[in-house]
Amino acid sequence: MKRRVLILTVASLLLALLLGQLNHYLAVWQIHVWCGGLFVAFAALRLGYRTGATAAFIAGLILDAGEPVAFGTQAFLFLAAHAVIFTVRARAPREETIVGVVVALLANLGLFLALSFVRIDPGLHPATAWMRVFADLLVSQIVIAVIAPWFFAVQNRLLEATGTNLRDFSRRAL
């Protein structure tokens, strides 16, 4: 389990760095991309509960380190999203990439809105603030749809390279 968590943490760090660079370049247009659903979807769909929950929590802590929220906010949101996805995963063909992309999109939608409610200052003009949130959400969802297959393949390949057989987790509920 420790090796799988370490591998998924390395993949999360890679994604966090790439998203940080993307946000740096998009700052000129005042656009922010947030892809929290990607950090949760693969492990929740393809691995055991403890492994996925630990990896999701650590990924949330990584993202919390650079965000203006209370430390642990994203970590606990990722943990909750992991629990929800893990609970309903038996009903879907979770080995399929398109299912992973749809799950990542739905998880990102829920996480993005939950985090937005936490972060938006009530003193701001609500219409202006929420228009900005929805614009960022739209761009984030497009980015997830484009890069999710690549990120799932990276995670899959890293786990296979370190000797993890994902077929062992394919239909078990553990």
Nearest CA to 113 among 88, 132, 134, 129?
134
Strand, helix or coil for residue 47: coil
Extents of the domains making up the chain: 1-171
So what's the pLDDT on residue 173?
45
The CA distance from 41 to 45, in Å, is: 6
The CA distance from 88 to 152, in Å, is: 19
Which tokens is 66 given? 């650079």
Compute the average pLDDT of residues 61-75: 87
The CA distance from 90 to 87, in Å, is: 7
So what's the pLDDT on residue 141?
98
The CA distance from 171 to 46, in Å, is: 9
pLDDT of residue 169 exceeding 70:
no
The CA distance from 1 to 142, in Å, is: 32
How much of the chain, in percent, has pLDDT values that exceed 90?
A: 70
For the entire predicted model, the pTM comes to 0.89
Give the pLDDT confidence of 70-129 residue by residue, as tens digits.
888 999 999 999 999 999 998 888 889 999 999 999 999 999 999 888 877 667 677 777
Give the pLDDT confidence of 87-96 residue by residue, as tens digits.
999 888 888 9
